Structure 1
């Protein structure tokens, strides 16, 4: 048996990739909110020297664990592939020394809160146990399984999105036995038909890409930087009046990192710690934040742009934003790599008057780039006092200096590990035919059929081509137009918005750039006939069916006073269009299929994967942490 305990400095000859293979740190910070310094230690790791079968050489060591018999199992244990030959583990920081077992063999021990197991066989599932006591005891041991990637040759640079659409009508596939729709398919033909479509769409290769991309991103993040980013993301110190955090609108326990509202409520909330339904500023019946808060999970998978209008974008010339300062500072810090889009994006909500604070209240010029830059440094960064935050910045960056560039980089690192890409549909692509039921298979076939048009925008394993598209969603809310008429013309002035990923889409409602649709089914129905959908929406005052506006007097007039006219203008400007004529039954099938794209770890707010993204409820380093709760007062 090869047991390693490593707490020494890593030689300068150690490959850089192994130095940074320390994710999984969906780190849970120490109770005081500061680092104990062990994040700068090298990764505790185990290397299999048995020829790749994943089993260490046996010896006579006792594998029953410690002798105390009264230890507590580590909290929030999670495991994920880091490559085709390594798996990373992490758990809640508590300062205890833990023994790590692969199967029944002890492979190492560490006082850190993470461990990377290396030298594993490709495409192989391993089970791990982590304990400070008796491995046979369920109360003293935490267990998790994880699988290595399919191979070690994928460089992880492709995110699984697809812009080259390959689809055809169901009747064109011989395997579908001349059926014209999924409703007509014989039960015995479902798998052969669906597999033929998957092959045409090259889905297995796209899935391999997205998994390799996610594994690379995980492995690149340093635990101390992620821990700092988590604390910052949940800190109200980054808002002008210290009443709003990033997690006010992007709470990991709500809808994969959203808030469950059509339009978010940022500053001046009556109860700043209340997140999601029930959150209000007590004044504005229609929120003054114009667009739906997109889920933050899987944000690291986007490579072209962020925000609903892609206004933070990666181009052939590098990073493009509305601020030259932000673009230059971001590229100076992280180049144009994994963190660039997220780091750049993190600069903007903190200077949005409705979201996190009005810089003019502090005397800064909101018409100049320099005004925003000065506010971030002189107000927000300065608010993070060294006594409270210095040790966290030292652990993450090597010294206690605090500036907004470092703040944004740490937030990006924390966002980067919020990856939820395991789901039943991907299990089916892997070969598990029982992962989907008959209706879900019929829904997948309908979704991928050429006549539905779904894959024109939602192709590949990321289920988006990452571009902008005008699809004439109903215009509601305060809008982004400077005239104040409620219009939102999107990213190119004709009502175009970023095509969202459909991963986890079933849990990220309300749906649309304004959260226009209360159900996923109604959202899918919009694509059957957009003209009819628009007419139906406003004739039925469907905006008043949204939970956020239920019971609002004169709801339609307040929520969408010019909605129909504005929407029709956008529809006409884009030449109308958009009809796939799917039947009600086919739409039901598509919705059932979309439900199979949900990661169970994201759907369950109590899962280790979700809870590992939420800091200890200790008030944070400076007492301004947003310890979120729902409208009933339950902790989120």
Structure 2
């Protein structure tokens, strides 16, 4: 039979190619998903099939309860406590627990009473009371033995009526100047408030912003997302996310730019390094391809944690978006395939986004290298299916796909769906500020309270872009950040004009923002304080940036010869052109002391589990260092050689 040259080339190269999948790094991604749970699934709003292992009418998660009449249960005597035990609310009346799979059988205790026994690595406890904290112990043998038992606490939602469809973001913020708020003594600055007036003032601002209501919505949203994910799908997604088998040269995984142990699922670089790294196992600062002094991925790799909370779009420019007409992307095939698989529900944005890094030459693979047309929808679609999916050998991966989908068929659509499910459980939304909103007035110190007041006041303008409990309005805004890096301009000017031109980018959520530097769409600012200071006077900030060659303060470029001319050769002119278009010389005129207060407040938005890379919640997002199904797993380390 006659065969085209391109087809022949594909057949020849097929067994040799290892292609990349949906890791959201840099210009194609880098957005946003950390919850950590691998737990039971209910019917997914995006159309997933219910594959619960639990949830029967007895309320024991569907596991076999081997308690005898005395409630003593069966002792397994296996002698190993479950690793990375975590628990989270699934609703107002249920809590999900999960731990690392190890094949053991575990007894589940609530408040010291045995409620079930399971050989799964998850359990869902139903029939609980709303707004109630429960204590659990999970034991492989003697529940009183520290070596055989792990303990965890979790609290149900405050009610069981919230549908969990609102993510806590606010599109139209409340902007009230401090001087107009009587509870704040009509002062012009939080610096002028007496200590004894702080709680009254802050309570008034929280109420006017409906912060408690938005927080309740976000928690219900997160609980619903957690409850919908099938543990088998999440486990498959985790293995795919860390698999280098999916990259063009077998040396990049999604986790290469979005590792759970770095920056809430980022890489702490200004701009990520994708293909052809000198050391594939090295993740984060120090990663290099040995050739390009300035990375060829132009945008900062945003953290994955909390990506499931985004409701409007993903990527810095929202080019994967959810509209009233469905999923909108640059590819009709991707949009249609995504909706066919999961509808427009929870997983849709993440699944659609997961299609694009694989076709980005700088991030994970060049389709033209294998004879495909990168400019056509059919070319990139064929590339994903013919090569990416086909190079996951069934002998190695069939068990995981069969557990997740019911058969061992491997398609790119399934790969993207599984990665989306894994990203969906990466939720880190507990922090001291939310403890304060819940009523713990000692959760913040006085300067942090002044910072919260300053942040929410119309004086600062912070909530113009960062409103609600999710701390973002989600829609692109002109931030007037300095232009550095290679940019996205096809003419090679170095410009990156963002979503709607004139330097417009999606405001990131501020949850865990203190962990996610460098800050800016290209990682322009080395410190969070400098990032906040930028908004005092953006024009002055831009001039200061280039006068002081601040791009050379970034750790990624600090030792680079002729740094300024290489990192931002046209930066000042490009930035001034954007400023001229947007009128970006306006600012909030905050004092240095007020900026310091805002930074103190932003630091209270950090989830302690996200900050602690040894926490169970982080460890649950990193697979066992066993090489993966086919020996190509990214078992990462940092520049000091420490295993991540």
**TM-score after normalising by structure 1:** 0.91
Deviations 1:403-450 (A, max 9, x none): 000000000000000000011100000000011111100000000011
SS of the residue corresponding to residue 548 of structure 1 reads: coil
- Kindly indicate whether residue 535 of structure 2 is the aligned counterpart of residue 523 of structure 1: no
Q: Which moved more, 1:172-181 or 1:388-397?
A: 172-181
Q: Distance in 1 between matches of 2:317 and 2:543?
A: 25
The structural deviation recorded for 1:148 is: 0.3
Distance in 2 between residues matched to 1:384 and 1:238, nearest whole Å: 8
Are 2:38 and 1:26 equivalent residues in the alignment? yes
1:302, 1:513 → 2: CA distance? 17
1:230 maps to what in 2? 238
- Contact 1:342–1:412 (Cα < 8 Å) also in 2: yes
User: CA contact under 8 A between 2:73 and 2:114: conserved in structure 1?
Assistant: no
Work out the CA distance in 2 between the residues paired with 1:298 and 1:169: 30
Residue 61 (structure 1) aligned with residue 70 (structure 2):
yes
Rounded to whole Å, the distance in 1 between the matches of 2:177 and 2:290 is 52
Contact 2:38 2:122 in 1 (8 A): no
Q: Secondary structure of the residue that 2:81 maps to in structure 1?
A: coil
1:327 paired with 2:327, answer: no
Q: Where in structure 2 are the equivalents of 1:464-613 lying within 5 Å?
A: 464-613=472-621
Contact 1:277–1:548 (Cα < 8 Å) also in 2: yes
The reply on whether 1:194 has 2:202 as its aligned counterpart is yes
- Residue aligning to 2:54: 43
1:367 maps onto 2:375 in alignment: yes
Alpha-carbon distance in structure 2 between the residues aligned to 1:594 and 1:45:
43
Q: Rate the CA distance shift 1:180–1:320 in 2: closer, same or farther, 3 A.
A: same
Describe the SS at the equivalent of 1:96: coil
Give the match's secondary structure for 2:590. coil
CA contact (8 A) 1:423 1:596 kept: yes
* Cα distance change, pair 479–354 in 1 and its aligned pair in 2 (3 A): same
SS in 2 for 1:485: coil
Q: Relative to 1, partners in 2 of residues 1:317 and 1:40: Cα closer, same or farther, differing over 3 Å?
A: closer
1:410 and 2:421 correspond: no
How does 1:274-293 map onto structure 2 within 5 Å? 274-293=282-301
Matched, 1:140 2:151: no
Q: TM-score, normalised by structure 2?
A: 0.90
| Cα distance change, pair 24–274 in 1 and its aligned pair in 2 (3 A) | closer
Are residues 1:422 and 2:441 paired? no
Q: Answer yes or no: is 1:390 the counterpart of 2:401.
A: no
The total of aligned residue pairs comes to 596
> Aligned to 1:208, which of 216, 220, 239?
216
Task: Quote how far apart the aligned CAs of 1:147 are.
Answer: 0.5
**8 Å CA contact retained: 1:45, 1:118:** no
C-alpha distance in 2 between matches for 1:114 and 1:281: 40
Per mean C-alpha deviation after superposition, the further-off stretch among 168-177 and 79-88 is 168-177
Q: Residues 40 and 453 (structure 1 numbering): CA distance in 2 closer, same or farther, change over 3 Å?
A: closer
Cα offset, 1:237, TM superposition? 1.4
CA deviations over 1:572-605 (Å, ceiling 9, x no partner):
1112333100000000000000001011111111
Task: Say yes or no: does 1:295 pair with 2:309.
Answer: no
The whole-number CA distance in structure 1 between the counterparts of 2:51 and 2:218 is 29
Aligned 8 A contact 2:36 2:426 in 1: no
Equivalent residue runs for 1:49-88 within 5 Å: 61=70, 63=72, 66=75, 68=77, 71-88=79-96
Residue in 2 aligned with 1:306?
314
Q: 1:78 to 1:67 in 2, by over 3 A?
A: closer
Counterpart CA distance in 2 for 1:307 and 1:24 is 22
CA–CA separation in structure 1 for the residues paired with 2:512 and 2:73: 40
1:47 deviates by: 5.2
Q: Is the 8 A contact 2:138 2:149 kept in 1?
A: yes
Q: Structure 2: how far apart are the matches of 1:44 and 1:61? A: 24
2:173 is matched with which residue? 165
Q: Is the 8 A contact 2:36 2:618 kept in 1?
A: no
Cα deviation for residue 45 of structure 1 reads 6.8
Contact 1:78 / 1:91 at 8 angstroms: preserved in 2? yes
Instruction: Please give the secondary structure, in 1, of the residue aligned with 2:467.
Output: coil
- Corresponding residue number in structure 1 for 2:20: none
CA distance in 1, matches of 2:68, 2:250: 57
Are the structure 2 counterparts of residues 67 and 249 from structure 1 closer, same or farther at C-alpha, using a change threshold of 3 Å? closer
Out of 570-579 and 435-444, give the one that drifted further.
570-579
Following superposition, the deviation at residue 162 of structure 1 comes to: 0.7
Aligned-pair RMSD on alpha carbons?
1.8
3-state SS of paired residue (2:108): strand
Deviation at 1:25, TM superposition (A): 3.9
The one of 607, 614, 631 aligned to 2:622: 614
CA displacement, residues 459-487 of structure 1 (integer Å, 9 cap, x when unaligned):
10000010000011000000000011110
Change over 3 Å in CA distance of 1:453–1:357 after alignment to 2? same
Q: Is 2:450 the partner of 1:442? A: yes
